[in-house]
Amino acid sequence: VRVLLLNPPYVTITSRWGVGHQIPLGLLMVGGSLRAAGHDVALFDAESRRSSVDDVAAEVVRFAPDVVMTGHAGSTPAHPVTMATLRAIRRVSPDVTTVYGGVYPTYRAEAILATEPAVDFIVRGEGEETARKLLAALEDPVPELAAVRGIAYRDELGRTVVTPDAGPIRSLDEYEIAFDLIDDWDRYRCFGLGRAAIVQLSRGCPHRCTYCGQWSFWNRWRHRDPIRVADEIERLHREHDVRFFTIADENPTTLREVFRTFLEELARRALPVKLFATIRATDIVRDADLLDLYRRAGILYVLMGIESTQQRTIEAIDKRSDTAHDEEACRLLARSGIFSILGHIVGLEEESLADFRAASRNLARYGGDHLNAMYATPHPWTPFAAEVGNREIVEDDLARWDYRHQVIANGRLPPWQIFFAVKLLELRFHLRPRRLLSMLRDRDPSRRRQHLWCLKHEALVFLAETFEFLRRTTRRVPRRTVREFLGFAAPRPLRKQVPVAATTRTSPLRPDRIAP
């Protein structure tokens, strides 16, 4: 089967002015699996090419695939433009079969199929095996679609059929990743460090933060062979001069020994590459004795989702962490020469201006290097969405459900006040004298270059977001609660909260959430 993998033309302020574009790893993983099964596969990355919807339609006519497969990492906010693109494709190539995958369509399959005739199939969950089985079924003169687990489609009577879940892939190492489908590595550059790629050591997370939609998507935490991932990094560096790697994992440090093996392999190879990883503060504290190895392996940035500087909020979202760990992790990373990025979420509670002032003071005390202030977003598949079901939404455009726009109303403060409170928080954090002074005092020229690169791009994102907000303040959003907007039939029951004090905060791993 001739397959065109399509990364839709979804471009955000953060990719345009901030971190840049990244390779579409999910599609490359699906592509590798399909190619190994004998299909003819190509990739069109409309995001990094900054193509228009019409450019994509023209490319589909030119390539003339049997099947177009699409999906984007920034799944929910990318949904509207993905649908516009599939509609344009349908207009010019009515016979092409369309397949849509990723996190958002996994959970909204029925709603999408009911309203979007341009979507023929949805692959729910991990794509490698299911996409292969779907194509095998489609090649059959009498396709037995109902037997393919993990898909959704319309039957000949137009009824939506959702087949049983496919379940998590057992051995992630069995699948090849089609990195060679990338035709121009120069389109993927990050942090001013040259060519960039994403790699994945593990999938899933054994934690259960209420607002996070990732743990349920991947099901159990599983990992690849850490040595093979190090091989992959070395190969991408040697063959394509990739110098910056983002580790896609939700929680790469879940098993200390696995992560340690990965780091030791990288340190031993002494490649001139830098890494970005998302790691829990509790694991940074746990790994205090390994942080020198982290640095030698090339880890340059660690994003820590601290989410709030209030202990009550951290407990309400079941983060299984605490403010002491967050502060300690910042200190340890600074001591090890690794840049920390603090993920802070606004809207998990209805903050007052006093709460913003307290957050600003606390974040300054933690002393991290960068702040990524985000807005709580009620993905319908999270317990958080049910918890905030009665709050109103202030943003009904899914394209803005990207963590950079306020979605849920705050009963105490209007959106314009929240926006400026967040911008002030960012400004005070990034321009605090102690931070600026330590940047100026940094003698290492490569670190100084990083400081400057980040400062410039943080300023650009700041200005672009402010400009965008001012242009858009007049738009009125009809009054609806989260529940009404998402169309919940009934609020989902709240999960039983485990009191944090009754658990071991630093190692709350449950064996049933980790694959053997």
Residues of this chain that interact with ligand SF4 (CB under 6 A) are 205, 207-209, 212, 214-215, 250-251, 280, 305
**Residue 487 CB neighbours (<10 A):** 9
Q: Does the protein bind ligand B12 through residue 211 (CB under 6 A)?
A: no
* Chain centroid to CA 287: 24
Residue in the structure block whose two tokens are 């379940």: 167
Residue in the structure block whose two tokens are 């913003």: 356
Q: Does the protein bind ligand B12 through residue 307 (CB under 6 A)?
A: no
**Closest Cα partner for 212 from 125, 302, 319?**
319
Say if residues 340 and 305 touch (Cβ distance below 8 Å). no
Query: Facing residues of 223 across strands?
Result: 202
Give the count of residues interacting with ligand B12 (CB under 6 A). 44
Q: Does the protein bind ligand B12 through residue 150 (CB under 6 A)?
A: no
Q: Please provide the size of the chain in residues.
A: 516
Residue in the structure block whose two tokens are 């990207």: 402
Q: Which of 250, 315, 351, 458 binds ligand B12 (CB under 6 A)?
A: 250
Residue in the structure block whose two tokens are 């005390």: 365
Question: For residue 427, what is the DSSP state?
Answer: H
Of 32 and 327, which CB lies nearer to ligand B12 in the complex structure?
A: 32
Question: Smallest distance from the beta carbon of 215 to ligand SF4, in angstroms?
Answer: 4
List the single partner that 46 binds among ligand B12, ligand SF4, none, CB under 5 to 8 Å by kind: none
Question: Smallest distance from the beta carbon of 344 to ligand SF4, in angstroms?
Answer: 13
CA distances from 384 to 148, 216, 281, 390, 403 (A): 31, 13, 22, 11, 14
**Closest Cα partner for 76 from 53, 108, 45?**
108
Who contacts 61 (Cβ-Cβ below 8 Å, separation ≥6)?
Answer: 92, 93
Of 327 and 346, which CB lies nearer to ligand B12 in the complex structure?
A: 346
Question: Smallest distance from the beta carbon of 398 to ligand SF4, in angstroms?
Answer: 21
List the single partner that 65 binds among ligand B12, ligand SF4, none, CB under 5 to 8 Å by kind: none
What the block records as the tokens of 191 is: 């942090």
Q: Does the protein bind ligand B12 through residue 9 (CB under 6 A)?
A: no
Q: Does the protein bind ligand B12 through residue 10 (CB under 6 A)?
A: yes
Who contacts 189 (Cβ-Cβ below 8 Å, separation ≥6)?
Answer: 20, 21, 195, 196, 244
Say if residues 266 and 230 touch (Cβ distance below 8 Å). yes
* 3-class secondary-structure state, position 409: coil
Question: Smallest distance from the beta carbon of 99 to ligand SF4, in angstroms?
Answer: 27
Of 208 and 237, which CB lies nearer to ligand SF4 in the complex structure?
A: 208
DSSP string covering 51-105? --HHHHHHHHHHH--SEEEE--SSHHHHHHHHHHHHHHHHHH-TT-EEEEESHHH
Q: Does the protein bind ligand B12 through residue 104 (CB under 6 A)?
A: yes
Q: What angle do CA 243, 70, 53 make, to 5 degrees?
A: 95
Of 31 and 77, which CB lies nearer to ligand SF4 in the complex structure?
A: 77
List the single partner that 280 binds among ligand SF4, ligand B12, none, CB under 5 to 8 Å by kind: ligand SF4
List the single partner that 69 binds among ligand B12, ligand SF4, none, CB under 5 to 8 Å by kind: ligand B12
Question: Smallest distance from the beta carbon of 138 to ligand B12, in angstroms?
Answer: 13
Q: Does the protein bind ligand B12 through residue 373 (CB under 6 A)?
A: no
Question: Smallest distance from the beta carbon of 60 to ligand B12, in angstroms?
Answer: 14
Residue in the structure block whose two tokens are 């023929």: 120
List the single partner that 102 binds among ligand SF4, ligand B12, none, CB under 5 to 8 Å by kind: ligand B12
Say if residues 397 and 409 touch (Cβ distance below 8 Å). no
Of 212 and 327, which CB lies nearer to ligand B12 in the complex structure?
A: 212
Of 73 and 500, which CB lies nearer to ligand B12 in the complex structure?
A: 73
Of 230 and 327, which CB lies nearer to ligand B12 in the complex structure?
A: 230
CA distances from 327 to 211, 332, 364, 365 (A): 22, 9, 10, 8
Q: Which of 82, 85, 200, 372 binds ligand B12 (CB under 6 A)?
A: 200
User: H/E element holding 343?
Assistant: strand 339-346
Q: Which of 3, 9, 17, 22 binds ligand B12 (CB under 6 A)?
A: 22
Q: What angle do CA 305, 308, 309 make, to 5 degrees?
A: 120
Stretch that binds ligand B12, among 140-148, 156-164, 208-216, 387-395 (CB under 6 A): 208-216
Of 207 and 222, which CB lies nearer to ligand SF4 in the complex structure?
A: 207
Of 70 and 327, which CB lies nearer to ligand B12 in the complex structure?
A: 70
Q: Does the protein bind ligand B12 through residue 123 (CB under 6 A)?
A: yes
List the single partner that 205 binds among ligand B12, ligand SF4, none, CB under 5 to 8 Å by kind: ligand SF4
Question: Smallest distance from the beta carbon of 10 to ligand B12, in angstroms?
Answer: 5
Who contacts 78 (Cβ-Cβ below 8 Å, separation ≥6)?
Answer: 8, 10, 72, 104, 399
The whole-angstrom separation of Cα 285 and Cα 330 is 9
Q: Which of 57, 83, 86, 99 binds ligand B12 (CB under 6 A)?
A: 99
**Closest Cα partner for 385 from 250, 206, 213?**
213
Q: Does the protein bind ligand B12 through residue 15 (CB under 6 A)?
A: yes
Of 214 and 310, which CB lies nearer to ligand B12 in the complex structure?
A: 214
Give the binding site for ligand B12 (CB under 6 A).
10-12, 14-15, 19, 22, 24-27, 29-30, 47, 69-71, 73-77, 99, 101-104, 123, 126-128, 131, 198, 200, 212-214, 246, 248-250, 402-404
